[in-house]
Amino acid sequence: MTGKERRQQLLDVARALFAEKGFDGTSIEEIAHRAGVSKPIVYEHFGGKEGIYAVVVDREMQRLLDRIVSALSGGHPRELLEQAACALLDYIEDSTDGFRILVRDSPVASTSGTFSSLLNDIASQVEHILGLHFSASGYDAKLAALYSQALVGMVALTGQWWLEARKPKKDEVAAHLVNLAWKGLSHLEHKPKLGIRR
């Protein structure tokens, strides 16, 4: 095996183990054993468990971000919302192990960690799109950041739930997400107020 092939083999083995057991439950010994190599080979390529984990996580984050950003091609905001929701659910379906790695050790509600930083990157993209739409529609464009966090959070939390539930079907989940978000977005009040007194 070439060095490049060995490195990829170790990454594949580590990815499966991290998805199955998480970072803390995975050891260098087990990665080496499953790959049929000695521990020094793993250390030689990655320096340790933290090194191989970082490469696995970076690759998964890039796969998901690329998928979502490339999906945002429609012109109408509803199309963009549909494309983003479908892109996330497609990634969960196609890369279940990768999504497990991203959410296991970095829950969506966390303020730090890999998955939350990825969601912030995605929210920034959505904020830009919403800001343009808000300005054109007479809404306060400064609120685009708040709405982008709400939309991305809704889709991400639903994705975490669907990772295990897998019912209803993916397209139906996406349709319901878009229905909730769009019907709410299409009837936004310019200056919303709470109905209860505080």
**Does the pLDDT value for residue 109 go beyond 50?**
no
Predicted TM-score (pTM) of this structure: 0.82
Q: With cut-offs at 50, 70 and 90, classify the pLDDT of residue 107.
A: very low
Please give the pLDDT value at position 30: 98
pLDDT tens digits, one per residue of 110-158: 444 578 888 888 888 888 888 888 888 888 999 999 999 999 999 999 9
pLDDT value at position 108? Answer: 44
- Spatial CA neighbour of 69 closest among 89, 83, 55, 90: 83
Residue 98 CA: distances (Å) to CA of 132, 146, 153: 33, 28, 19
Q: Where are the beta strands (DSSP E) in 92-173?
A: none
Whole-number Å distance between alpha carbons of 185 and 76: 13
Could you tell me the CA-to-CA distances from 183 to 62, 95, 157 in Å, in that order?
A: 31, 30, 19
Residue 59 Cα to chain centre, angstroms = 12
105: confidence class by pLDDT, cuts 50, 70, 90? low
DSSP 8-state assignment for residue 141: G
